[in-house]
Amino acid sequence: MDTAFPAALGGAARKAVRAIEERTPADRDRAIDGLRALALLAVPTGHWLLGGFTRDADGALHNASPLTSLSFLAPASWVLQMLGIFFLVGGYASALSFRRAMARGESAGGWLRGRLVRLGRPVLGVTAVWATLAPLLYGLGVPEATLRTGATLVIQPLWFVGVYAVITALTPYCLRAARWTGAWAAAPLAAAVASVDLLRYGPAAPDMPSWLSLVNLLPGWMFAYQLGVCWGERRLGRRAAWALLLGGAALFAVLLLWFGYPASMVGVPGQDRTNSHPPSLLVLALAAAQSGAAILLRDRLARLLRRPALWAPVVLVNLSAMTILCWHQTALLSAAVPASFLSPVPGLTVAPDTLGWLLARIAWLPVFAAALLVIARTTRRFEAPWTGVTRVRRALAAVLAAGFAAFALGLA
């Protein structure tokens, strides 16, 4: 067997690993990057594993959840729901970035504009591309129902970017709260979520308006971000981390066993309660436990990532963070949409209601990952500054993005 190609590939990989290691500043906080990469990878893994399709008589795809029939998968959502870690790390990084920007003499507005532009470019890119792609697919015979299903999946993760942008804008206030009260700054946010949960799930629930749950959207996700800001300001130490870990785990168990919260951290069709959209107190309990564990394991993780072979993938994931978030559902659809024209394909277009579907879907995960890598080679450019792009083209991209959003939300 010719071993020249594998040897050359291995040599190139080792060279890339060495280059990444050499370019990493000595003071780089590898643990924070490692936590961010872990939280990022949990997003596509969770969506790919816990999201399925059914195929109707006309060959159109419709969203379906394996959790409807395979309820034993619910604990997997406890592991894969890592947005608490993402917001924790985001708060930590924002605290450090804001402090450094102020030390350089930058304005708070300038710092915020830079952060928001970096978040917005990839979102504008994926929605504009899909606005162009949808009519082409329809012309090739893809049913409108399939396109609406795909549009829903593509735009579904992007709510996170909007919430994250709003919370990022509140960073100066989070910093003040952290400096005044330390880790206790997150307590009012948890209390607000608990109060709303009591109203919408307690004795007065029948009299509550349907929009009440939306009140939890900002404090629910800001909770872990505020903890991250406190961590970055060195106002959250190991004692508080142990309290978060043990207290969060205990609250999680109590809410799950005695207060009737759904076991799944993601929405399940047919259930009248959901934990994540918007976040319930159970989500905050999980975020507290995860945050405490992350803080306690920070030094150990930093030592582990001193190994160049482990550090290199972390760097690559972080360099493509928004690309992964924006395009991972497109990778799934790149396999599912062509399969919808064939006979029912296990793990793709067969109803996700058997153990066989689960095994088949696990086998598909490397295919989705490979598709994402291929897509990212082209789409990652949306994360870089749009130098040379005229205002007319930017305006056109914004119009296309707005049209696609309207289509995905059922407004068009």
Tell me the two tokens of residue 379. Answer: 């789409």
pLDDT-derived band at 276, boundaries 50, 70, 90 = confident
Per-residue confidence (pLDDT) for residue 5, from 0 to 100? 43
2, pLDDT greater than 80: no
CA–CA separation, 398 vs 121, rounded Å?
Answer: 10
CA atoms within 13 A on the CB side of 133: 15
The pLDDT of residue 35: 97
Report which of 85, 81, 80, 114 is spatially closest to residue 97, judged by C-alpha positions: 114
User: 13 vs 151, which has greater pLDDT?
Assistant: 151
How would you class 207 by CB atoms within 10 Å of its CB: exposed for 0-12, middle for 13-18, buried for 19 or more?
Answer: exposed
Identify the band that residue 111 occupies on the pLDDT scale cut at 50, 70 and 90. Answer: very high
Percentage of the residues of the chain whose pLDDT score is greater than 70: 97
What's the rounded mean pLDDT across residues 298-325? 95
Euclidean distance between CA atoms 143 and 50, whole angstroms: 24
Nearest to 61 by CA among 124, 119, 146, 143: 146
Q: What confidence score (pLDDT) does residue 1 get? A: 46
Taking alpha carbons only, the member of 176, 165, 158, 143 closest to residue 53 is 143
Considering only 284-288, 309-313, 396-400, which range has the smallest mean pLDDT? 396-400
Chain CA centroid to CA 325, Å: 6
For residue 393, is pLDDT > 80? yes
What is the 3 state secondary structure string of the chain?
Answer: CCCHHHHHHHHHHHHHHHHHHHHCCCCCCHHHHHHHHHHHHHHHHHHHHHCEEEECCCCCEEEECHHHCCHHHHHHHHHHCCHHHHHHHHHHHHHHHHHHHHHCCCCHHHHHHHHHHHHHHHHHHHHHHHHHHHHHHHHCCCCHHHHHHHHHHHHHHHHHHHHHHHHHHCHHHHHHHHHHHHHHHHHHHHHHHHHHHHHHHCCCHHHCCHHHHHHHHHHHHHHHHHHHHHHHCCCCCHHHHHHHHHHHHHHHHHHHHHCCCCCCCCCCCCCCCCCECCECHHHHHHHHHHHHHHHHCHHHHHHHCCCHHHHHHHHHHHHCHHHHHHHHHHHHHHHHHHHCCCCCCCCCCCCCCCHHHHHHHHHHHHHHHHHHHHHHHHHHHHHCCCCCCCHHHHHHHHHHHHHHHHHHCCCC
Determine contact, residues 95/232, Cβ cutoff 8 Å. Answer: yes
* 345-354, 372-381, 403-412: least confident range: 403-412
- Cα separation, 281 vs 193, in Å, equals 6
Q: Please tell me the predicted confidence (pLDDT) of residue 154.
A: 95
Q: What is the pLDDT of residue 3?
A: 56
Task: Give Cβ neighbours of residue 371 (< 8 Å, ≥ 6 apart).
Answer: 331, 332, 334, 335
Contact 184/127 with Cβ under 8 angstroms? no
Q: How much is the pLDDT for 4?
A: 55
| pLDDT band of 303, cuts 50, 70, 90 | very high
Q: Report whether pLDDT(46) > 60.
A: yes
The mean pLDDT value of the chain amounts to: 93
CA distance 241 to 103: 29
pLDDT at 277: 81
The mean pLDDT value for 146-174 works out to 94
pLDDT at residue 7, as a whole number:
55
Q: Is the pLDDT of residue 230 over 80?
A: yes
Q: What's the confidence (pLDDT) of residue 216? A: 96
**What pLDDT is stored for residue 389 in this prediction?**
78
Q: How many CB atoms lie within 10 A of CB 248?
A: 22
User: Which of these ranges, 135-144, 194-203, 373-382, 401-410, has the smallest mean pLDDT?
Assistant: 401-410
Give the mean model confidence (pLDDT) for residues 102-128.
94
